[in-house]
Amino acid sequence: MTWAFKRQIISILILFLFFSVFGFLIISPSLTETPTCADNKQNGNEAGVDCGGSCVKACLFQVDEVAVLWTRSFRVVPGRYNAVTYLENHNKNLAVNKINYKFRFADENNVYIGKREGSTFIPPSGKFAVFEPGIDIGNSIPVYTTFEFTQMPEWTAVSQEKISQIQILVSNITLLNAETSPVLSATIKNNSFFVIPEVNIVAILYDANRNALSASSTYLDFLAGEEEKEVNFTWPESLPSNIIAKEIIPMYNIFSVKLR
């Protein structure tokens, strides 16, 4: 082996060692980087990319879909309707901060007559309602009403401790003048130390078979900790005479709730 050949081999080995060390220095930070829930990788104890495990974001394949129990439109006055959908979230500690939705309306011949779009939140675990007021569809009558979410939800874990501590109590539910100028009143109490902003309260009236007959809503800017307020729901026309049950659903976004 000539000296010139040996020198070539040594040069190649030096270059190989140089590039090996240089490459290691480049990739070593990624090899030793601590996994996070925002690094666009499935690592640590994550069940998917930046979801599941210790991440607050839940993976879609681990989540049950929200069940739509019923969707209906109720006449307020001729040509104007309130639309309500009644849903249930089977995910115990998961909620959605914001999600878009759409109501669609069709007449008795199932001919499309209008839609209403909006956004809402999904509270953790339980039944809730989405209410759309004052829908104007002219001379048409919405016999069929459907509801759908128009985007994929982004589910976020909420601590069971927070869920358990936030309690809104409803009492003193009274319906007066149902055949003339209906007024439904109730007492709403925040039975916690949390400040609950933007409380949308939905009232649903049922017959003996639990069929929804009408609905209304009202709004509170906030409920301070341990605060109690009276709320009223009104209708411009008389209500059906066979109202047996009344349900009042306080709706609030748990991600906006703060300790006072």
pLDDT tens-digit series, residues 194-248:
999 999 999 999 999 999 999 999 999 999 999 999 999 999 999 988 999 999 9
Round the average pLDDT of the chain to a whole number and report it: 89
pLDDT in tens, 23-48: 555 665 555 567 788 778 888 787 88
Whether residues 152 and 243 share a domain: the answer is: no
The predicted structure's pLDDT at residue 61: 87
Of 75, 101, 79, nearest to 235 by C-alpha is 75
Query: For residues 192 and 8, which has the higher predicted lDDT (pLDDT)?
Result: 192
Q: How many CB atoms lie within 10 A of CB 46?
A: 20
Predicted TM-score (pTM) of this structure: 0.83
User: Is residue 80, in this structure, part of any structural domain at all?
Assistant: yes
The predicted structure's pLDDT at residue 28: 54
The predicted structure's pLDDT at residue 91: 95
Pull the structure tokens for residue 236.
Answer: 């411009």
Whether residues 101 and 183 share a domain: the answer is: no
Determine which of 20-34, 107-121, 140-154, 219-233 has the lowest per-residue pLDDT on average: 20-34
The yes-or-no verdict on residue 67 having pLDDT over 90 is yes
Domain span at residue 166? 160-259
DSSP string, 210-249: --EEEEEEEEEEEE-TT-EEEEEEE-SSPPPTT--EEEEE
User: Is residue 4, in this structure, part of any structural domain at all?
Assistant: no
The predicted structure's pLDDT at residue 27: 63
Whether residues 78 and 164 share a domain: the answer is: no
User: Is residue 15, in this structure, part of any structural domain at all?
Assistant: no
Whether residues 193 and 231 share a domain: the answer is: yes
Which CATH number goes with the domain that contains 208? 2.60.40.3230
The predicted structure's pLDDT at residue 18: 58
The predicted structure's pLDDT at residue 256: 95
Cα 98 from Cα 133, distance rounded (Å): 19
The yes-or-no verdict on residue 8 having pLDDT over 90 is no
User: Is residue 64, in this structure, part of any structural domain at all?
Assistant: yes
Domain count, the chain: 2
Whether residues 243 and 174 share a domain: the answer is: yes
Whether residues 166 and 254 share a domain: the answer is: yes
Query: For residues 20 and 140, which has the higher predicted lDDT (pLDDT)?
Result: 140
Whether residues 142 and 175 share a domain: the answer is: no
DSSP string, the chain: --HHHHHHHHHHHHHHHHHHHHHHHHHHHHHHPPP-TTSSS--TT-SBTTBSTT-SBPPGGGSPPPEEEEEEEEEEETTEEEEEEEEEE--TTEEEEEEEEEEEEE-TT--EEEEEEEEEEE-SSEEEEEEEEEEE-TT----EEEEEE-S---EEE--HHHHHH--EEEEEEEEE-TTSS-EEEEEEEE-SSEEEEEEEEEEEEE-TT--EEEEEEEEEEEE-TT-EEEEEEE-SSPPPTT--EEEEEEE--GGG-EE-
The predicted structure's pLDDT at residue 32: 57
The predicted structure's pLDDT at residue 14: 65
